[in-house]
Amino acid sequence: MSGAFDDWLDGFRARAGADDVPGLAALAGITPLPEVVEKDRAQAEFTLPARDYLARVVTPDRIATGRAKLAAHAPLFQRITATYAIPAPLLAAIWGVETTFGSNRGATPTLAALATLAAEGRRRTLFEAELRALLQLAAREGFDPRALTGSWAGATGHMQFMPSTALAHAVDLDGDGRPDLWHDDPTDALASAAAYLASGGWAADQPCLTRATWVTGDPSLIAPAGAAGPVFRPGANWRALARYNASDLYGLSVVTLAQALGDNPWSIDWPEGDRPLTRERVARLQAALTAQGFAAGAPDGRIGPQTRSGLKSWQRANGLVPDGHPGPEVLARLAPEK
């Protein structure tokens, strides 16, 4: 990737320099991180069945730690809830899912991670924009972008904000003159996450996700293991939560953890034998859907909202339960192997 990376870097510097992006000197000597590309191609939201994903995220230890954090920071959570109307268990759940309450904020150099993902090309526009935002944020807040670390995808701090989100939504709740999302004190980070959710239209006292039963013809229902498994109905605040991460499994894990932290845990029974398709088979399913006139997005092997929507439309057109769940039986009927 080195030669291609250097070519991309030269082009990015020229484009960013023409737009007066500050701090481009920080890119001198930067090298790509191959492990970042590998992790990007194996995200858990796209490779694990729902049961296993939730078991990995919503653990007894995380629930116990979350309850302890809610108690230890009770005045802070009360202040944030009063200001932004975000329930404390929900905000704590995001904190827990993102960084295990600040204990695992990531050690990947953020500048190099963003540059690697931009150069790789699959989502170049997105990661070039985030790289620009990081340089602008560093200039505004007075830190060296080369010193910042976080996740492999470029998110940083307690609440794993991408640079563009930090640039637009970080708040200074502790009153020290600058919003600090990276300090051991989580005050500004938690408040910033609440401000971000509020800016996305969070409505006080409205549900985010509720348990439901399968109703054929209701396109809004989420059935992560198909109609035979648990079914959930998105509420008024689901769209705001999806701004953090558009994965249905991510949102489900946050709400499930929030339920447990709020002393109202869900008991979820998952069907046995549910296993996701491989990336290659998902890509074949996506290509077949699109070829038959059911828009499923790029055949990238990732099940996202567009693929589920296209699959539901295909299922309806073929007299099947439109649960949007891409199991082996669906693939065999949609795109049988020759």
Q: Is the pTM of this model over 0.85?
A: yes
43 phi/psi in degrees, rounded to 5: -65, 140
More confident residue, 263 or 164: 164
Do the domain assignments include residue 324? yes
Domain span at residue 84?
45-103+203-261
Residues 152 and 285 in one domain: no
Average confidence score pLDDT of the chain: 93
What confidence tens digit (pLDDT) does each residue in 95-137 have? 999 999 999 999 999 999 999 999 998 899 999 999 999 999 9
Residues 94 and 63 in one domain: yes
Paired tokens of 274: 């549910």
Question: What is the model's pLDDT at position 147?
Answer: 96
Do the domain assignments include residue 312? yes
Pick the closest to residue 69 from 185, 195, 214 (CA basis): 185
Q: What is the CATH number of the domain that holds 83?
A: 1.10.530.10
Residues 99 and 69 in one domain: yes
Query: How big is the chain, counted in residues?
Result: 338
Residues 110 and 26 in one domain: yes
Do the domain assignments include residue 169? no
Do the domain assignments include residue 195? no
Q: How many separate domains does the chain show?
A: 3
pLDDT at 88 over 80: yes
pLDDT at 321 over 60: yes
Alpha-carbon distance of 152 to 125, in angstroms, equals 17
Do the domain assignments include residue 179? no
Confidence of residue 254 (pLDDT cuts 50, 70, 90): very high
Pick the closest to residue 45 from 258, 279, 290 (CA basis): 279
- Report the first-to-last Cα separation within the chain, whole angstroms: 35
Residues 25 and 135 in one domain: yes
